[in-house]
Amino acid sequence: MSRFAAPIAEQVWDMKYRYKEADGTPIDRSVEDSWRRIARALASVESDPAAWEAPFYEALEDFKFLPAGRITAGAGTGRKVTLFNCFVMGTIPDDLGGIFEMLREAALTMQQGGGIGYDFSTIRPKGADVKGVAADASGPLSFMDVWDAMCRTIMSAGSRRGAMMATMRCDHPDIEAFITAKSDPARLRMFNVSVLVTDAFMEAVKSDGSWDLVFDGKVYHTLQARDLWNKIMQSTFDYAEPGVIFIDRINAANNLNYAETIAATNPCGEQPLPPYGACLLGSVNLARLVTDPFSDAAELDGAALSKLVRTAIRMMDNTVDASQFPLPQQAAEAAAKRRIGLGVTGLADALLMLGLRYGSDEAAAQTEAWLKLIARESYLASVDLAKEKGAFPLFDADPYLDSGTMRLMDEDVRDAIRENGIRNALLTSIAPTGTISLYAGNVSSGIEPVFAYSYTRKVLQKDGSRTEEKVVDYAVRMWRELKGDAELPDYFVNAQTLAPSEHVKMQAAAQKWVDSSISKTINCPEDISFEDFKDVYMQAWDSGCKGCTTYRPNDVTGSVLSVSETTESAPGEQPAAQPVPEEGGEIIYMQDPIDRPQELEGSTYKLKWPDSEHAIYITINDIVVGGRRRPFEVFINSKNMEHFAWTVALTRMISAVFRRGGDVSFVVEELKAVFDPRGGAWVQGKYIPSILAAIGGVIERHMISIGFIEGEGLGLKTDPQAKVIGLENGRRGKACPSCGQYELVMIEGCMTCAACGHSKCG
């Protein structure tokens, strides 16, 4: 029998984690082969690899321990990829040469698949003097635009786009422009942005005090702290960004506050990291550890959890040695501190199996107890590793034990660390687990509540036929297997029906025993008042959270999921939010490329680039699928033999993308963003930054002409014949850039596709 609990789980494995030859031929014949590959790779750094391969395999078996996607996809493949998910780059110097050296390092990191975070507070504000050149500074936001353009041109390992986090201190003179930067929908699309909020600022907000904006000791502007706070809140209320990071609290609680200062996080915010800091991630699947679910005897097997955590810690510590790093500075930082981030997934499902309502006091208490057990076992396992292999090089017992996190730890754990040292400076983190949760059978993601108990996913097959797959939450499926058609109890709640305060309560309960941080989205109703919205952030501050991320659907962010009458729901509740199918343009996800028909309609365009002897001819052929015309293949030809190699490569790559379906208009965006360092050209009164950008413009005009997109700079055009079911006010959010379906949801601080699992945060 298959180990996969749902068809979507096997599809995610095949798409993202299965080891294949370059031509797509599978090397991993089964998921057992994948588990064996990972276990063998992580055991290879042991003095006795054979002794550890079997325990590592046992931890992976049946999706109990879920290493993050980089490890699952890359371990044991021999490919030049990092097994670390996230990085914070070096401190950006306040000079042009240093800034662009940092840009080069970012590109190298993203090329290997790592998400990156940067603090832009170190760059002087717009209008400040630039000594020696008699000019004014352009400010940090102008350089963020450069980073954004770079990110658009880099495709991360495993076909994942790189994700970036930008932070800025609440006292930087350009903070107001930073707060509102993403109100422009075309700007900083590759960034998540967060404000670094200090304790002093929060005190000024509460006391209605004044607040100085300062750089390099100079006060540029003074304003009321509440005015700045309200500006942050208004932007977040309207655009879901910026996030808020309580940076002083993070540094005070950091086990390594004696050796580092943190000013940035990874893209989803669960890993506050120092310059060149890196963290690898993994999660224990709590849903797999519940015995006798939905009965009076239901409980989570504490002994099994303890054993699993201890094995997982050893596997993650070994990953530090097994991984490659894009930069030597990152390798040195990881070796000095051996930071890892073990978290959980399936928390909401596990609570359901025990009959606990997510957001209740009982569920919060149970969450805190589970996370404390995981923290204890993680620290004790790391102490055992220190006895065997040595403590991390920068370990210093007294200041380490005096950090905010360690002062809370049980005395027997503190004594063990004092006597033997510890292998890993930090050990726990709650990471986004959207894709690996699907891979594990659609368990609830991280510590999030269940978003939708079931939804229908349409898959376009290679022969053009369509199949429908019902994707059901793991706990709901288990309920049906045990209880048949019995009505779901009233403790089955979802992200939309929970009060924001209940989200915060669960985040705070988990945070107490997590030494890094937590990726968590607090879903707010569209009609929440602005004052109540602000109270959510103040509750997060007052309850000890290290940051806060909210999502409120509206005309700008989109109403990404709608209510369907067929969705399973608890008694007395509105039905759970469910992704909406389209009746006409139902190209959602292609399992395989479509076969090419014998004949296709198309158009040929002539592109004359200035100073080029020969024109370029671009032929675009279209296919009709679901009553809709869409681009299917491209041919680019020129008599200029200098163009031959790259035009052939471009032809093949773009055609391959087109044949995969979904919203492929991003191809235009990527091409138009390419600039030629030798300079572009003026074409028909418009400056084009490169010949590749000109080709992108031709493809865009073709897409407009066939009705695939609405206009220049716009995404997938709504099918005029499609009837969208259940949308409020006729609104919907953006299409997934991977599969084209309108099923993007904000999960753990990152827009994630409910249909295919795509997330820009990786």
Give the span between the Cα atoms of 381 and 388, in whole angstroms: 11
Side chain identity, residue 107: A
Q: How many Cβ atoms are within 10 Å of 656's Cβ, its own excluded?
A: 11
DSSP state of 709: B
Contacts of 625 (CB under 8 A, 6+ apart): 460, 464, 587, 594, 661
Question: Burial of 447 by CB count in 10 Å (0-12 exposed, 13-18 middle, 19+ buried)?
Answer: buried
Give the span between the Cα atoms of 602 and 706, in whole angstroms: 10
Cα three-residue angle 438-467-576, rounded to 5 degrees: 50
Tokens representing residue 619 in the block: 């032929």
DSSP state of 519: -
Cis ω for the linkage preceding 275 (within 30 of 0) = no
Whether 756 is catalytic is: no
Cα three-residue angle 756-67-511, rounded to 5 degrees: 95
The whole-angstrom distance between residue 605's C-alpha and the CA centroid of its chain comes to 39
Give the span between the Cα atoms of 26 and 29, in whole angstroms: 6
Tokens representing residue 699 in the block: 């493809």
Whether 268 is catalytic is: yes
Tokens representing residue 211 in the block: 């607040």
Candidate list 53, 105, 270, 502, residue with the active-site label: 270
Instruction: Say which residue the tokens 């997330």 belong to.
Output: 759
Give the span between the Cα atoms of 219 and 216, in whole angstroms: 9
Candidate list 255, 266, 318, 621, residue with the active-site label: 266
Give the span between the Cα atoms of 225 and 282, in whole angstroms: 39
Beta bridge partners of 20: 26
The whole-angstrom distance between residue 568's C-alpha and the CA centroid of its chain comes to 28
Give the span between the Cα atoms of 162 and 14, in whole angstroms: 21
Residue 465 backbone phi and psi in degrees, to 5: -75, 165
Question: Burial of 518 by CB count in 10 Å (0-12 exposed, 13-18 middle, 19+ buried)?
Answer: buried
Query: Per-residue b/e over 119-142, b at no fewer than 16 CB within 10 Å?
Result: bbbbbbbeebeeeeeeeebbbbbe
Q: How many Cβ atoms are within 10 Å of 566's Cβ, its own excluded?
A: 12
Least Cα distance to 638 among 680, 688, 694, 599 occurs for 694
**Interaxial angle between packed helices 644-658 and 691-705, expressed in degrees from 0 to 180 and rounded to the nearest 10:** 30
Instruction: Say which residue the tokens 């620290």 belong to.
Output: 379
- Helix and strand numbers, DSSP H then E, in the chain: 24, 32
Instruction: Calculate the alpha carbon distances from 188 to 148, 514, 530, 744 in Å.
Output: 6, 31, 25, 19
Residue 563 backbone phi and psi in degrees, to 5: -90, 130
498: helix, coil or strand?
coil
Element housing 160 (H / E): strand 160-161
Side chain identity, residue 523: N
Candidate list 86, 151, 170, 268, residue with the active-site label: 268
Contacts of 296 (CB under 8 A, 6+ apart): none
The length of the chain is: 762
Give the span between the Cα atoms of 207 and 226, in whole angstroms: 9
- Residue numbers annotated as active site: 266, 268, 270
